[in-house]
Structure 1
């Protein structure tokens, strides 16, 4: 069963710092720049009251951590989850800095959210919570400063509420200039065609390209997915369309298996009205959650929360490839075990970068007053992801190292170059 990251011995922040320090040592990162990148620029915590449907007032705590903006405005999602705290946001913000840098985007990294379980609130309560959170953040976000996006338990509707609230704080003449304060909006509210599938498409495409680099294809490959939200669904859909078979799915409520294959569309139709829960799906049977990672398969896609693959379960994994659809799903000890077992890990900052690349396209579309059609978006997305994959693949071959280390070298080196060229104020 998917467990909260804070229940694990090593926090996500420990994991990301471990990864950063390993790379900094490897590339002999300038010590001054190392000091800057090891810390966040800003950590914003807001407490705000919201009136519930029953008339009572509840106090919520929201976070926005801005790690680094050397390459451009802060960029990163907002999640609504009980595990949201400042340490989790710091880790996720740092990962976003590496992810945007690796993708060659003019962005830095940020992350945040609200510590709550959205299943406990009505739609009207979630709207009021979101709008009040946006108001509390104030000028800490902005279309040229910090641009939020959807993440765990947030979606296009959430982004529409944020955009409307933020624009409402501006003068009439300024409102149209602030539509791109968030990305991941509904298409009718300035969103991008295809943004909903961008992250899952990126997961699928990096997997496909990895197999192709080995002279293989997806036909006949078997895979299991942890998490069946937006990322898990779209990745599964694209993979099965290319001939792969989904054997098992796990979320916070159930672990399902069907050795003959699970219908992705049937499971999606079952889970959508249930706020994403796969429990009760008749096209598969439930199995013991602790046996999930040990299933015989070609490919494992962790697409839920962070720190799911640890020293406690990594040795069970039989998949030859782990594609990180989630942010930080593998801690340092778990990764070491997988690498010793010869498992190829497609790291999160490469594997799930389709989402932020799609967000960049939406941001450009809004800034330039353009409208891009789905085919154009998907072509641009595929071209960009293929180039990033090629860059990492070349680094893997040249350095004879693992994929995460190669990706980190590219990402951090790009930021180091920026600081070296610009200098440090004053």
Structure 2
């Protein structure tokens, strides 16, 4: 071991708390204990490298000025530039950004990518602002972040309530602040851009396709035919829609959906494309979709189904609702949707979990492909992208489930162990400056 020696007490188990940071730290410590992680490296990985908070003014359509607060947390860059999404949501704060950045570090490491982890966003309800206001907010946030992001330093991507248009505004603003000779060379400052602005063909479906693929791999591993299987989806944005669409093509039936506006169900099946088109015409809401019945939000996870896909926000499956879940499989399309209390109950009940850092990693893998495409001046086509994504995810899936069986541990701990061991190896080989 070339890292400096230190006398550090091993982290002790404690009763889990409800915060996302508490969840990710308990998950990290469980895996660190299992692999007997060196105390110095545990110290390093337990904290973030940088935490950026910016307050910035933006003129609204009516001429008034509002002050917004934006965050960017950079957790670790031992394996490469920070990588992770920017979300626009009222729940965005420093604690949430820390947890999400940490999860990104494990996710990129598990996928074998040359990235570290970062996350951030703006504390805002975007539904309250016009598109022109959101453009000005985004551009001003980008300007405020300045050199804290960059194509070889920190590469944002879409997340909750942000999309390819958001990324196009960020890329344009960032490139406009560079010297003229460097502007086109900085196109890969963000990923998830529109196809016509350096985006990757298929990036829009990469996360949802990855969720679907990991479900398919799990089904194959357990000799289960997806045809006729019922699934429920929490969150019907980009991830929930694409995962549902691919599952539907395999003959599975979407029987319940929950979004920020309400919950609906139909045990005979909901048509995925029709539901998505309906939501687009109704400001994103699935409520009152024809041939569906409304469902109390507290009863959503209790719907009779085979597969449950939480693809919304964190801390959704808890000790309160985990006992009600009827699914045999939880496929975590969101980041941190199951807290530690809820997970214990699920595991005790024998419910399988495809952990978030594996299940939804298709997005960051697609982002890596886009980054490479921009960096090398190439154009990749859809079939090539989907094939590369499938191969990459199958490799990650096999590693996690083989490790889980070999070590007789749950799949989340297995995924964390693999991710942390790769980072540990980098620190051991390079040492600690100075």
Q: CA deviation digits over 1:229-249, x for unaligned, max 9?
A: 000000000001001000000
Who is 1:366 aligned against? Answer: 374
Kindly state the Cα deviation for residue 282 of structure 1 after the two structures are TM-superposed: 1.4
Q: CA deviation digits over 1:3-58, x for unaligned, max 9?
A: xxxxx960111100010011111111000000000000000000000000000000
The counterpart of 2:65, out of the listed 57, 63, 75, is 57
Q: Does 1:293 align with 2:293?
A: no
Kindly state the Cα deviation for residue 278 of structure 1 after the two structures are TM-superposed: 1.0
Equivalences for residues 148-187 of structure 1 within 5 A: 148-187=156-195
* Kept after mapping to 2: 8 A contact 1:263/1:283: no
Name stretches of at least 5 consecutive residues in structure 2 with no aligned partner: 1-15
- How far apart, CA to CA, are the structure 2 residues paired with 1:255 and 1:117? 20
Who is 1:318 aligned against? Answer: 326
The counterpart of 1:349, out of the listed 338, 350, 357, is 357
- The SS at the match of 1:28 is coil
Who is 2:400 aligned against? Answer: 392
Who is 1:233 aligned against? Answer: 241
Who is 1:17 aligned against? Answer: 25
* Kept after mapping to 1: 8 A contact 2:126/2:161: yes
Who is 2:267 aligned against? Answer: 259
* Kept after mapping to 1: 8 A contact 2:17/2:23: no
Equivalences for residues 70-109 of structure 1 within 5 A: 70-109=78-117
Q: CA deviation digits over 1:319-338, x for unaligned, max 9?
A: 11000000000000000000
- How far apart, CA to CA, are the structure 1 residues paired with 2:186 and 2:287? 41
Equivalences for residues 136-215 of structure 1 within 5 A: 136-215=144-223
Kindly state the Cα deviation for residue 312 of structure 1 after the two structures are TM-superposed: 1.1
Q: CA RMSD in A?
A: 0.9
Q: TM-score normalised to the size of structure 1? A: 0.97
Kindly state the Cα deviation for residue 250 of structure 1 after the two structures are TM-superposed: 0.4
Kindly state the Cα deviation for residue 89 of structure 1 after the two structures are TM-superposed: 0.2
- The SS at the match of 2:192 is coil
Kindly state the Cα deviation for residue 275 of structure 1 after the two structures are TM-superposed: 3.6
Kindly state the Cα deviation for residue 152 of structure 1 after the two structures are TM-superposed: 0.1
Who is 2:3 aligned against? Answer: none
- How far apart, CA to CA, are the structure 2 residues paired with 1:412 and 1:283? 47
Kindly state the Cα deviation for residue 283 of structure 1 after the two structures are TM-superposed: 3.0
- How far apart, CA to CA, are the structure 1 residues paired with 2:283 and 2:88? 13
- The SS at the match of 1:219 is coil
* Kept after mapping to 1: 8 A contact 2:230/2:307: yes
- How far apart, CA to CA, are the structure 2 residues paired with 1:274 and 1:107? 38
Who is 2:413 aligned against? Answer: 405
Kindly state the Cα deviation for residue 276 of structure 1 after the two structures are TM-superposed: 2.2
* Kept after mapping to 2: 8 A contact 1:225/1:301: yes
- The SS at the match of 2:267 is coil
- How far apart, CA to CA, are the structure 1 residues paired with 2:143 and 2:196? 23
- The SS at the match of 2:301 is coil
- How far apart, CA to CA, are the structure 2 residues paired with 1:236 and 1:353? 17
- How far apart, CA to CA, are the structure 2 residues paired with 1:250 and 1:27? 38
- How far apart, CA to CA, are the structure 2 residues paired with 1:91 and 1:299? 26
The counterpart of 1:122, out of the listed 130, 146, 154, is 130
Q: CA deviation digits over 1:218-274, x for unaligned, max 9?
A: 111110000000000000000010010000000111100011000000100011233
Who is 1:113 aligned against? Answer: 121
- Once the two structures are overlaid, the 10-residue window that deviates more, 40-49 or 8-17, is 8-17
Q: Does 1:414 align with 2:422?
A: yes
The counterpart of 1:36, out of the listed 40, 44, 55, is 44
- Residue correspondences, number: 419
- How far apart, CA to CA, are the structure 2 residues paired with 1:407 and 1:275? 37
- How far apart, CA to CA, are the structure 2 residues paired with 1:163 and 1:239? 33
Runs of 4 or more above 2 Å deviation: 273-276
